[in-house]
Structure 1
Amino acid sequence: MLQATESLADGQVLVSRGQGIALVELNRPEQFNALTLALLDGLRAALEALSDDPAVHAIVLTGRGKAFCAGLDLNVLTEDNSVLARDDFLGYDAPLMQAFARCCKPLIGAINGVAVTGGFELALACDFIYASEKARFADTHARVGLLPGWGLSQKLPRLVGINRAREISFTGDYFSAQEACDWGLVNRVFPADDLLESTLECARQIATCIPDTLEHIKAMMNEGWEDSLANGLAMEGQRSRAYNSKVDVSVMEERLAQLRARGKRS
């Protein structure tokens, strides 16, 4: 069971922990979880804290209500449109994007409803995505007159192919969770009532792995994805030799026995 919820950013971000996992919820359901500066800062603080928490081994990010995230709350721009030029708001080096990038725990996006523009970018910042059959995605940057600044223009083509990414971003059209799954953007699609529990169960399974090993594998994958295959393979070889040389082989028989038992159950 997940333990009592922690409230951040005046309740706009909720965090629950238990069983080696954490659930982070965007909590502006009446506004379709549209992003405020306070919510973004709360999300950053949550990811940083969970990354540093030795009791947490996997994280699920979702939205409360009918939406995952409808993007930036336009009231933010009405109050101060200079935010769009700030390097602490947009870009890979912005604190929120660095919190995603530096989070050493596996992070699963549970996309329960619409994930639009900035909300779509938050989904892409997760390590992988599960979606409700009711989820829909759209990149409407070109329709509202803004450029993506949280990685969408670079990540989306790498995930779905450049031609598909062009179609998504040039048209701004919505597409379904099943289409996203067919294109390799979403890993699995679930009935709406099953999404959260299925995603949490995946997180629980991840949490049964060796935490330190898991963190190293995540780091190797993420770094290699941003580099050439040749450099990635060289990096993997170097790190695996250094890491594996320190493994306590005496405990591996028990781990292998557990794996064999798990294979029989499945």
Structure 2
Amino acid sequence: MTRQAGTAEDVREDDTPVLVERDGAVTILTLNRPDRRNAINRAMRKALKKELWRADADDEVNVVVLTGAGTSFCAGVDLPEALSGPPPAAEGPTPTHVLRGISKPVIAAVNGPCYTGGYELAVNCSFIFASERAEFADTHAQIGLLNGWGGSAVLPRMIGLPAAIQFILSGEPIDGATAARIGLANEVVPHDDLLDRSVAVAQRIAVGHPGAIRRMLRLLKEGAGTSLAHALALESEAAATYRADGADIGARYAKRRAQSD
């Protein structure tokens, strides 16, 4: 099956702010306000958190892919709505709190412009695949705002402090190829192949042992940015407390051997 990112046939004309599709053990979440470049309003924030929590609680889901409808990934927060209503703090956890907190990998399939709050969504996913039409920018400082969804904390750990300073303070957009070169995106993918590639990698992860995948993801996230000694201690603790099933390991190993022959 060929999936095309952001084509008209993928976009349902309804008021659902986040579309949900299942492909085996993979859930695909699509931000669905294409006429507003998927700007994040209150309804979308609520729906996105709900669907992330739902995927995390579903034992049949192992990986999530997050993308955008239409020609954009996400233009950021719907600023006119945000400036006219109650502060987002009244809504509880932010979507990026949820992205960082859930136990399953989330792949951002960035199919177009990914700005400000949208960029913060993407960098709080487990990793990013970028379409050749992707464009990343952070305009918070340019318009008088600060990062509030983790961007200033996460980005330097991804691309280094000097590059993060330039990106966040200048507001200058970078394309998908540049994002991949500096380590913001894992890959830049031909636009029409973006969802196929993202779902294929998600499926590759999803066939792994669910418990081991979740524990390894937690170990990687907890060890990132710490000292080597602390990361090694976390690994030793995980190895001592993780309960492996020998029969299951043997069966999985035999299956992989048979597939590789």
State the TM-score, normalized to the length of structure 1.
Answer: 0.89
User: Tell me, what secondary structure is at the counterpart of 1:186?
Assistant: coil
**Paired residues, number:** 251
- Name the CA shift for 1:117/1:167 in 2 (closer, same or farther; >3 Å): same
Which whole-Å deviations, capped at 9, do the CAs of 1:204-244 have from their partners, x for residues lacking one?
Answer: 1111000011111111111112533322211210111221x
SS of equivalent to 1:213:
helix
Does structure 1 residue 25 correspond to structure 2 residue 25? no
Query: What does residue 83 of structure 1 align with?
Result: 87
Distance in 2 of aligned mates of 1:130 and 1:226: 22
Look up the SS of the partner of 2:87 in the other structure. helix
* Counterpart residue number, 1:210: 209
Deviations 1:68-101 (CA, angstroms, capped at 9, x unpaired): 0001112213422x516x3646xxxx34233212
The two structures have a TM-score, normalised by structure 2, of 0.90
1:46 aligns with 2:51: yes
CA shift in 2, pair 1:42/1:214, >3 Å: same
Secondary structure class of the residue paired with 1:69: coil
Letter in 2 for 1:253: G
Higher relative contact order (CA 8 A, sep 6+): 2
| Distance (Å, rounded) in 2 between the aligned partners of 1:180 and 1:260 | 36
Q: Which runs of 4+ in 1 moved over 4 A?
A: none
Question: 2:114 corresponds to which letter in structure 1?
Answer: A
Which residue, 246, 256, 259 being the options, matches 1:249?
246
Structure 1 gap segments, 5+ residues each: none
Residue 259 of structure 1 pairs with residue 239 of structure 2: no
8 Å contact 2:37–2:71 — kept in the other structure? Answer: yes
Q: Which residue of 2 aligns with 1:168?
A: 167
Q: In structure 1, how many angstroms separate the alpha carbons of the residues matched to 2:197 and 2:94?
A: 30
Indicate the percent of aligned positions where both proteins have the same amino acid.
Answer: 37
| Range with bigger deviation, 138-147 or 96-105 | 96-105
Q: Which residue type is aligned with residue 19 of structure 2?
A: L
Q: Distance in 2 between matches of 1:67 and 1:261?
A: 42
Stretches of structure 2 lacking an aligned partner (at least 5 in a row): 2-9
Deviation of the 1:263 alpha carbon: 4.0
Q: What is the CA–CA distance in structure 2 between the aligned matches of 1:241 and 1:78, rounded to whole Å?
A: 50
Cα distance in 2 for partners of 1:105, 1:97 equals 14
CA offsets, 1:235-258, max 9 Å, x none? 210111221xx3232333332222
The aligned counterpart of 2:78 is 73
Q: Cα 1:95–1:147, aligned 2, differ >3 Å: closer, same or farther? A: closer
